Structure 1
């Protein structure tokens, strides 16, 4: 029956008799690169889009979602979140809070994220070895509401670097070590294999120093070239992509040359770094919203002097590489670093991307088509088309004229389940 429905969709006719649910769209954006196409009828069965037909065709029976006064588009994708954590400068909490608490926090944040219109997120480097994996399963099996989670598990980092525990007594640091630090190419390959064994969908590394850790030794490269190449090659041999937290220009360049799939933050990316990203096909995930979060945190006195010094160092540079990256043909994918700021506010990134030089269409595609491609899921998500996952959102207004309309999403469906 599903094959008949898909055939009917390709022929331009609906097959409402087999559709479990019908969505009436007032103005459909099926593909963000093509813009709105006007009123349309979408049929959904068993979590997948069965047909997309122009015009409003209300069925005689079945579940109908009447969004005929709304703009409808694919669910949004955030390539960089920390869904099991909330904004905090209280580093000592790592020593007092059980890892399992992250699941409770994650349930709260997953619902907020979903209702904000984000139906897929990539969770990168949580505290706790399996909190995001547990949440991923709970959402997939329908126990709790939330987006599809592509989860990395703990970050792979150098000893004492960003991503490792810092700032405690040596015996406390050792106690809190999550077991994913490495030194040398062989040990780093081993950690990738361990992450794969534990259930990682993607590998995250901290390729350079970071802003919000107690590690205060700059923002340049942490791993050696051989270590990063080993990580990338090992991950790819296992069918896994690699995301690199990276701020400093030479660390970004080294990560791209090593074959890292996404460069997240990319704050100081210069021409050499961007050329390496273009040559190696690395995607750029700018996470501009993170810096709005740290600006607010600094104003509230949330951070330590070590962190405040790094925030002051980077703020004037935020967003500067975006226009040169686009001009050079580097693909920019949407990511926010939610968790540094409150979850559910992810869509502020659209406004920041446009302010940094992207067109509204480029910003919309960064959170749909480009992000789906960066995940290797371009045939599953990022469009509203027959055979795709039924990840769909609705809202008022025209995002091509004003991207901030996406900050108020009214209706969400993820994998065929309407959020409530």
Structure 2
């Protein structure tokens, strides 16, 4: 395997095994299980609601990170409509500040034309590297190819690897929590519904990855909740204004829906609007992935949302910085893991809902990870 492919998706918060058709009630527990102790899928869900004891910071040092001072790295998210990418941009900038690297952001606006223009701009301005977020290679293949040909290394994060364009000395993939978030939500729905959920998922169409991520969640339903029914409504960042009407239409066509999920938080508000238009706000439970501060505040207010899954976006910024420096310097990338956590109405009370907490990464684990990165970069 190419050494650049070692950065693979993972999560320290999701148990490997699934328990088939387990609603996780105490009645299902063995006689030896202490009263009140959760078992099976319910125990997995409970574990998913807790932060990590420690972040998975790589240990391999970067000996000459300071030599990159004065260089500029471009950050290109698929769309700045996503609150997640704003957090990652902020922490990426803070991480690079420690070694003197500048960050220039460029909004992909959810279209191949804008994404390609951003990448071309970075290439023309001789960026040291380009970090993209949730941008599939295929939608800007020519621009990505031209960047690498010009000697500008590219990192594609929050995406599935493109098998036709394998990782190389100028290309690295850093998948993140899209699939594990879907798995976490599917487990919660299975337990919450007692295995009888009817779920509408507003699934993104910005490249092939969203469908793959949703497929990981559907695999949980197939194994653990065979009586659950999943309906997919396709939505996109480029056609944002159509989300409310398509959501409403899907609900009217499927009146037995009991859960409505926005795959990513940027779709949450228009999804909720569509639920309201269908007069279903009081009869369905809302879910979202990629949750950030606004979504967690909505969860705490008990307004539509009942559960949300998120990935450690603040940590992602530091991981992206670490990977970019290694790629620029031509050193091997370690295996990265981006933690995922599940938030529910029952657990949200223990979460500090402030912008400072969002930026610090404390929702997912101890905030000392920044000092750990600076130590391996030789700038502590």
Structure 2 length normalisation: TM-score?
A: 0.30
Structure 1 length normalisation: TM-score?
A: 0.28
Compare relative contact order (CA 8 Å, sep 6+) and give the higher one, 1 or 2: 2
